[in-house]
């Protein structure tokens, strides 16, 4: 799906009817965690991911904004 400039992955997915899990929408709960397979995102430091999860390539869809084309997995 297409993410508009400034839009988060979560908002873009929901706008286009993609079934994505979410709860807090501020990066604290980890419910919207996705694995980033390709590309890069801007994502603020959040409490929703552990350092190990970040190192393993996980992102939070609710606060992540793509820098380029990305591929993610649930």
pLDDT digits (tens, 9 = 90+) for 14-37: 999 999 999 999 999 999 999 999
Query: What are the DSSP calls for 5-45, one per residue?
Result: TT--HHHHHHHTT-----SSSSSSS-TTEEEEEES-EE---
70 φ, ψ to 5°?
-125, 155
- Residue 46: pLDDT over 90: no
Mean pLDDT of the chain, nearest integer:
96
């Amino acid at each position: 799906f297409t993410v508009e400039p400034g839009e988060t992955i979560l908002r873009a997915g929901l706008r286009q009817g993609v079934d994505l899990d979410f709860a807090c929408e501020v990066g604290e709960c980890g419910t919207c965690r996705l694995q980033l397979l390709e590309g890069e995102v801007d994502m603020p430091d959040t409490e929703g991911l552990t350092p190990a999860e970040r190192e393993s390539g996980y992102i939070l869809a609710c606060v992540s904004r793509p820098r380029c084309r990305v591929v993610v997995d649930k």
